[in-house]
Chains A and B, each alone.
Chain A
């Protein structure tokens, strides 16, 4: 019989899975996670959420990190969102990808570059597919809506993807809850 593990503290509090949202990048990261890590990940989402709830003005809490040892790290975070009146609305899971060897950080709706090739100007990029610059499945069909540059960084705001519903999108995971 195969070995399986469920690692972490007992669940003190759980997010409201009905209202929990997840961005496209975090969804991708979690979907790529082998099945044997699902129980542990769900347990640690609960621990992170509990900590988030305990603190009055909680910063996002990281609950997963991985490093391929070849210049890429990925992370998942959970945070509580607020509605228009400043009340806590629902927990939200975000993904983050850092290709630190080549100076690219990717989030669901933006890409941060530490440098642009000299031949490309910010104006050239607006309205173009980001896949023209970076070829990654998670960035397919995403359009650069705006570009902000500072001395060393270029922030590409992408066509915005709305948060996804955990309940609807992570069906395979709901069995681990």
Chain B
């Protein structure tokens, strides 16, 4: 299969509903993951997002559906489709895991799996996240809640605005 054919490759079953990009919202992490998805995978990804949205229509709106998983620069990445709490708009959220560094980042939280023991008492609500861990993709976020259990610390972060549409992916369609 020539490379040109791969540029127009589209894997997945047909969807019944039209794709209305303006209905979607995307979290910054999901957008960051999308930014690295190569062009030849994008039609397939849009199809998966549409199928997940259709499938969500018949399920409780609280459930998440996984639409992409993979590896980017040695980090495990995952994208889920859910619905926002207010109007039920389809909402894409991302998750990035760096096993070597010992963290998993979500749209509104960070799970640190290799935190020094002293951190459990040192980290305070209201601290800036980048004071403790340098994860540029999260930007300047404030810690709003701390949970810890054995070696794992989970830091909840202040909210950040969602991006309208499905950036980097839908714009080329």
* Chain A residues within CB distance 8 Å of chain B: 1-10, 29, 32-34, 37, 40-41, 44, 47-48, 51, 61-70, 72, 74
Contact = CB atoms under 8 A, between A and B. Distances in A.
Q: 3 shortest A-B CB distances, which residue pairs?
A: A5-B70, A32-B1, A67-B8
Give the bracket for the number of chain B residues in contact with chain A.
20 to 34
Interface of B: 1-2, 4-14, 36-38, 41, 44-45, 48, 51-52, 55, 65-74
Contacts of B5: 66-68, 72, 74
Nearest to A34: B6
A75 to B, nearest CB: 10
Contact of A5 (B14, B37, B51, B65): B37
A37 B65 CA distance: 20
Contact residues of B: prevailing secondary structure? mixed
Given A4-B70, A7-B41, A66 B12 contact: no
A32 B41 CA distance: 16
Contacts of B36: 3
B78 to A, nearest CB: 10
A68 B2 CA distance: 8
A7 B8 CA distance: 16
Interface core residue of A1, A5, A32, A74 (most chain B CB under 10 Å): A5
B38 A7 contact: no
Contacts, number: 98
Contacts of A1: 71, 73-74
Given A1-B73, A3-B73, A66-B9, 11 more contacts: A5-B37, A7-B44, A9-B55, A33-B1, A34-B6, A37-B6, A41-B11, A63-B13, A66-B5, A68-B8, A74-B5
Contacts of B10: 64-66
Nearest to B75: A1
A61 B11 CA distance: 12
A9 B41 contact: no
A29 B11 CA distance: 13
Nearest to A36: B41
Nearest to B10: A65
A37 B12 CA distance: 12
A51 B13 contact: yes
Contacts of B11: 7-8, 37, 40-41, 44, 63-64
Nearest to B72: A3
Nearest to B42: A7
Given A1-B74, A7-B41, A7-B45, A69 B8 contact: yes
B81 to A, nearest CB: 9
A142 to B, nearest CB: 21
B52 A68 contact: no
Nearest to B12: A44
Contacts of B4: 68-70
Contacts of B1: 29, 32-34, 66
B13 A62 contact: yes
Contacts of A62: 13-14
